[in-house]
Amino acid sequence: MGKDKALLIIDVQMAMFDESDPVHDGEGLIETLRRVIAEARAAGVPVIYVQHNEDEGTPLEPGQAGWEIHHAIKPEAHDIVIQKSKPDSFNGTTLKQDLDDRGIRELIIAGMQTDVCVDTTCRCGYSHGYKITLLSDAHRTWPSSGLTADQIIAHHNAVLRLFADVKESKYAFGSNLGSESVSSSE
C-alpha cells in the first residue's frame, strides 16, 4: 500500500495553539494526527508537511517559535517539508513537482485551517488531477462569522465532497481503507 499516496499535513504549527486564541479542539487534532501519521508510516505512505510563512513580526515568521511544526508531530528526516505563503499549498511551492517526482496520485489531507488552507488545497489538488481524500476528523479551524468551529468543519466536510472523498481518519489506512465515507450530517 501507499506507492502512489501521500499524507499531507497542512499548517499544524505552534502558533495555532497559542493560549490566547487556540484552534478549536487542538488537543484532539494532535492526537488524531499522531495516530494517522504513525499509520501512514507503517503503511509505507510518505508524510508531507506544509508550513505556512508570514512576514517578519507575525506569529508565523520563519525561524520563530510559533512557525515551528507542532512538536508532537514533528517531521522525521525522511519526510518532506514544503514552505508556502498562500492558502494554496501548490501555489508558488514545490509540492506538485515533489508529488510528480515520486509518482504520487492521491493526497490524503489533514491539518489547518479548515476554511482556508485545507479547503483551498483540496480544491487545487483536485484541479491538478490528484485523487483527494479529506480526513473529516483531522482538520480544524476557529469560530467565525457567528458560526462555531464545528459548524464550519461540518460545512466544509459536506461541500468538499465535490472535490474529495471525505472519510474519517480511522478509514484512511490499513484494513479499513476504502470503507465507510462519513455522512454529510457529520
The pLDDT tens digits of the residues spanning 94-103 come to 999 999 999 9
The DSSP output letter for 181 is B
Alpha-carbon gap, residue 116 to 84, rounded angstroms: 13
CA contacts within 13 A on the Cβ side of 1? 15
Contact call for residues 173 and 45 (beta carbons, < 8 A): yes
What average pLDDT does range 146-161 have in this prediction? Answer: 98
Contact call for residues 72 and 34 (beta carbons, < 8 A): yes
**Amino acid letter for position 123:** R
| pLDDT score of 181 more than 50 | no
Contact call for residues 5 and 109 (beta carbons, < 8 A): no
| pLDDT score of 105 more than 80 | yes
Alpha-carbon gap, residue 123 to 119, rounded angstroms: 6
Residue 51 banded pLDDT, cuts 50, 70, 90: very high
| pLDDT score of 177 more than 70 | no
| pLDDT score of 175 more than 60 | no
pTM for the model stands at 0.92
| Of 122, 109, 114, 118, the residue nearest 147 (C-alpha) | 114
Task: Supply the pLDDT for residue 3.
Answer: 82
Lowest mean pLDDT, pick from 6-20, 105-119, 165-179: 165-179
Residue 8 banded pLDDT, cuts 50, 70, 90: very high
Task: For residue 38, give every residue at least 6 positions away whose Cβ sits within 8 Å of its Cβ, in sequence order, or none.
Answer: none
- 131-140 vs 165-167, strand pairing mode: parallel
The model's pLDDT over 106-152, given as tens digits with 9 standing for 90+, comes to: 999 999 999 999 999 999 999 999 999 999 999 999 999 999 999 99
